[in-house]
A and B are shown apart, each in its own frame.
Chain A
Amino acid sequence: MATAHLTVDRAEKFRIVCGILDRHGYRPSGLIPILQAIQREYQYLPEEVLTFVATSLDLPPARVFGVATFYAHFALEQKGKHVIRICDGTACHVKQSLPILNAIHGELGTSEKQKTSIDALFTVETVACLGACGLAPVVVVDEQVYGGMTPERAVALVNEIKMQEIAGDAQAAAAAVNGELHVH
C-alpha cells in the first residue's frame, strides 16, 4: 500500500470522473448512472467528488447527497481493505448472528455508525440475507463465505487476517529497505 500508488490513482481518478461527466453530457438526469460509475472507480462516493459533480451538473449539493444516500447501493464512506458482512436475515438472526456482530465490533473498535476501522483495514456491515441460510449464521469476508459462525471463531478469523496484513507490511518494509521495491 505505497502512498505513491494512491497519489497517482487520485489524479487518474479525477480524469476518469471528468470523463464520466463528459460521457453523460453533464445532464442532471444522468445523476444516478454518473454516481454509479464514480462508485465503481472509488469504491465509494467521496464528499469532495460529489461536490464537484453537483457543481458540474448545476445541482444543489444537498440534492446530490440526497440521491447518493437514498440508494443503499451507494457508499459514502471509504471501505476498508477487507469487507466483513454479517448476515442478519431471519435464519441467521435466530441463530444468534447479533452476538457475532457485537464481538467483531468489539474487536475492531467499529460500530453501527463507524463501520470502517481506524486502520482502514476492515469495514463491518450487516446484510439482510445472503441466501445461505443452511449455513446460518453466516459471515462473508471479501468473497469468502464462512458458515456456522460463533463469536469466538469470528474474532479469531479477524485476528488472523490482521496478522497476515502486519506480516505482509513488514515484508514490504524490509523489501523497501533492501531497495527491492521502488515506488512508481
Chain B
Amino acid sequence: MKELTQPTLTIDGKTVLIEGERNLLELVRKAEIDLPTFCYHSELSVYGACRLCLVQVEGRGIMGACSTPPEPGLKILTTTQEIREIRRIAVELLLANHDQQCPTCARSANCQLQILAQRLGIRKVRFKPVHAPVPIDESSPSLVRDPNKCVLCGDCVRMCSEIQGIGAIDFAHRGHDVCVTPAFGKQLGDVECVNCGQCASVCPTGALTPKSEVDEVWSLLADPEQKVVVQVAPAVRVGLGECFGLKPGDITTGQIAGALRRLGFDQVYDTSFAADLTVIEEGTEFLKRKQEGRKLPMFTSCCPGWVKYAEQYFPDLLPNLSTCRSPQAMFGSLIKAMAPEQLKVDRKNVKVVAIMPCTAKKFEAQRPELGVDGDPDVDHVLTTQELAHMIQSAGLIFNSLETESFDMPYGFYTGAGVIFGNSGGVMEAVLRYAGEKLKGGKLDRIDFQEIRGESGMREASITVDNTELKLAVVHGLRNARVVAEQVRAGKCGYDLIEVMACPGGCIGGAGQPVSTNHNARALRTKGLYEADKMLQLHKSQDNVVVTECYAKFLGDIGGEKAHHLLHTSYQSRHRIVDEVLPLMQARGSRKNKVSVCLGTNCYLKGSQEVLKTLLYHVQATGLDNQIDVRAAFCMDECECGPNAIVDGEHIHDCLAANVIEILENHVENEDKREK
C-alpha cells in the first residue's frame, strides 16, 4: 500500500496504475487484455468508428475505450454479455459486406477481421450483403487495392495523410456508398501515391496488400536458361523471422542464405555490399559538394518513396538530391554490366531478384532510366513477406535450416552496409567514410550515437578536423516535407539530410511482416546495430571487394564509369496523370494551341495571372475562334516554371507578355501559310 498517491482504476476487478496513458484502451492493453480494435493506431489520430473497443464503465454505461480518457477510480469491465453481443454484431455486419474469399486472400491468417471472427466464435453471418462487387485496382506496381475487403476503418487514410503528408486516398461518397478511394475514383497508379505501402501495413484486412511477384520468380527459377541472382536488403534479416514465430529483431541472415539456395537461386548476394558501394559514391559526392559549397544541403536518395515524393512536391530541390542510385539499383546495374565478363553469360540470360522490406522498390525497379534498352537492372522485387511465402510454399522448415553464408564476392559487406536498413543508418555509414576522408586518417570512433534514436526528426552537428557538419535525419514523409520546406525557404544550414519514407526507416517498410508488436521497429533497429557489432569491419572503405571492384571494373570513385552505372537523374513528375482543363476551343479547322501550366509549382510562380491575361487578350483581339486554350497540371518542368506551350514550343519562366508575343507569331505564320 505504498503508492497511495498514484492514481488507479480497476479493469475487470484488477487495480491498474494510470501512468500517463492517453485513453482507456492503452490501459486495458497494459493490463494484458487484448481488446479488439480496427480503427486504433497509437501513432495516428483517434477515429473511434469501429466500435469494437467498447467497455462497460460503471455508472456511465458502454463507451469506446479508444476515445475515453482515463480517470482515477473508474471501474471498467471489458467483456459483458452485452458487449460481446455488440461486438459480434459489428463483426458480422462487416463480414456480411466482405468478400469472404479467405483462403485465397494475401492476408489470410494475418487478417484482423478473420482473427476476430474466430475469437468471437462467429460461425454464421446473419446479415445479407448489400454491396455489389467492385473491380480490384491493380494499377500500382507496388500495391493491390481490393475495396471489396475494406472495413472502412480509415487507418490507411490517416496513415497517408498524417504520417506521410500525402493524402492520396480518402473517404468519398456518403452513407451506404462510402468508400476509400484515390481522387475522382481514379486508380492508385494514376495519382500521387509514392508506393510506400504504409497504408497496407496498417490495413487490418486484405483491402490493401503489397503486389506479389512470387509467381514470376518461380517461373524464372524453373527456367534452366536463366542465371538468377538474388540480393537481400539489410532490413530483411531482422524481420523475416517474425513470419516463422521469431521475435522482431532476431537476426536470421544465415537461414536466409540457406533458404535462398534451397529455393534455387544461382547466386546469393547481399544488398549490404551495394550499400557499401553507395557509401563510397555518396560520401565522395557529399565531400565534393561541401568543398565547393554547392547544392547543399544534400539529401540522400536511397529511398524510392522519398525520391518520388521529391519529384512530385519539391522539383526545385531535385538538384539537392544525391545522384546516387539506391543500393538495390546499384547492385542490379553492376551485376548486369559485369555478368558477361564475370559470369560468362549474356545480359539477357541474367536475372536479378531483390528481396526488400519495401513496396516502393517495386516501383523503382520499373523506372525506365534504371535499365538498359528496356531491360531492367532489377527484374523482380520480392518483399520480406513474399520471401516468407516462397519458403512456406517450398515446405522449408525455416527455423531448422542450417545457417549458411552469402556467396562471394558480392555477399561480402561491412557493418556500414547493414545499418542502411534503419533510420539514421545511412547518415552514420556516410560519416564513417566522410569523417576519415576529412581527417585524412583513421577515425577513432565508429559509432555516432548522436544521430541514432527513434524521433522522426533529429539533428546533430559533428566536427571533424575543424569542419563542422550539420546533419538532419528524418523519417515519415510529413517530416520530410517540413525539413524540405525549410530548405526551400533557406531557413536551415544543414549539410546532409537523410530521408526515409517509412517510420523507423526500411526496417519499418511495408514489405516487412505485418506486426502487432508495438515495439517491433525498435527491436528490428536494435537487431541491425547488433549485426553491425558482430562484424569485423564497420566502414565501407574497408570492404575489400568494393576496393577490388573499383580497381578491376569501375575505375575511379565518382569517375565516368562509376557515374554511368551507379548514378541517376531525377525529373519533376505529375501528381495526377492526364488532367487538363480546356478553357477555349477553336471552332474551325484552323487552330493554334496554347496551354499554361497550373501545377503547384507554376501556380506558386504566378501562372494563374499569365493565364487570365492571356484569356482576356485572346478574347479582346477576337482570336477566340481559332485558338485552343487549356490549363495543364504540371508539365514536368517545374524548375523553370511558369511553363507554357504554344503549338509545341515550350516557354519557360513565362510572363503573359511573352506568351502573347509568341502566340501572335504563330498566328501570323499560320496566316501566311494559309495564303
Chain A residues close to B by CB (< 8 Å): 3-4, 6-8, 10-11, 14-15, 18, 46-52, 54-56, 58-66, 69-72, 183
Question: For A52, what are the chain B residues with a Cβ–Cβ distance below 8 Å?
Answer: 581, 598, 631, 633
- Nearest-neighbor residue (CB-CB) of A19 within chain B: B612
Q: Tell me whether A61 and B625 are in contact (CB under 8 A).
A: no
* Tally of contacts, chain A with chain B, CB under 8 A: 110
**How near does chain B come to A23, taking the closest CB pair, in angstroms?**
14
Question: For B584, what are the chain A residues with a Cβ–Cβ distance below 8 Å?
Answer: 7-8, 10-11
Q: Given the interface contacts A3-B587, A18-B608, A50-B184, does A62 sit within 8 Å of B580 by beta carbon?
A: no
Question: For B197, what are the chain A residues with a Cβ–Cβ distance below 8 Å?
Answer: none
Q: Could you say which of B170, B171, B581, B599 contacts A60, with CB atoms under 8 Å apart?
A: B170
Q: Could you say which of B169, B580, B598, B624 contacts A55, with CB atoms under 8 Å apart?
A: B598
Q: Given the interface contacts A52-B631, A60-B170, does A6 sit within 8 Å of B184 by beta carbon?
A: no
Q: Tell me whether B598 and A60 are in contact (CB under 8 A).
A: no
Q: Tell me whether A61 and B576 are in contact (CB under 8 A).
A: yes
Q: Tell me whether B167 and A63 are in contact (CB under 8 A).
A: yes
| Residue tally, chain B, CB below 8 Å to A | 42
Interface majority SS on B: helix, strand, loop or mixed? mixed
10 additional A-B residue pairs with CB within 8 Å, beyond A6-B585, A56-B603:
A7-B584, A18-B612, A48-B580, A48-B581, A51-B576, A55-B603, A59-B167, A62-B172, A62-B182, A65-B170
What are the 8 closest A-B residue pairs judged by CB atoms, nearest first? A60-B167, A61-B183, A48-B581, A62-B170, A62-B183, A66-B170, A69-B172, A11-B615
Question: For A70, what are the chain B residues with a Cβ–Cβ distance below 8 Å?
Answer: 171-174
Question: For B580, what are the chain A residues with a Cβ–Cβ distance below 8 Å?
Answer: 48
Q: Could you say which of B191, B611, B631 contacts A62, with CB atoms under 8 Å apart?
A: B191
Question: For B625, what are the chain A residues with a Cβ–Cβ distance below 8 Å?
Answer: 4
Q: Tell me whether B191 and A55 are in contact (CB under 8 A).
A: no
- Mask, B163-191, CB within 8 Å of A = 1, is 00011111111100000011111000001
Q: Tell me whether B184 and A47 are in contact (CB under 8 A).
A: yes
Question: For B629, what are the chain A residues with a Cβ–Cβ distance below 8 Å?
Answer: 11
Q: Tell me whether A64 and B631 are in contact (CB under 8 A).
A: no
Q: Could you say which of B167, B171, B174, B612 contacts A72, with CB atoms under 8 Å apart?
A: B174
**How near does chain A come to B142, taking the closest CB pair, in angstroms?**
17
Question: Which chain B residues (565-592) contact chain A, with CB distance < 8 Å?
Answer: 575-576, 579-585, 587
Q: Given the interface contacts A14-B615, A18-B612, A65-B183, does A51 sit within 8 Å of B168 by beta carbon?
A: no
Q: Could you say which of B161, B173, B585, B598 contacts A7, with CB atoms under 8 Å apart?
A: B585
- Compute how far the CA of A48 lies from the CA of B181 in the bound complex, rounded to whole angstroms: 17
Q: Tell me whether B184 and A14 are in contact (CB under 8 A).
A: no
- Compute how far the CA of A6 lies from the CA of B469 in the bound complex, rounded to whole angstroms: 60
Q: Tell me whether A65 and B581 are in contact (CB under 8 A).
A: no
5 residue pairs of the A-B complex, CB under 8 angstroms, read: A10-B583, A11-B629, A14-B583, A48-B581, A61-B184
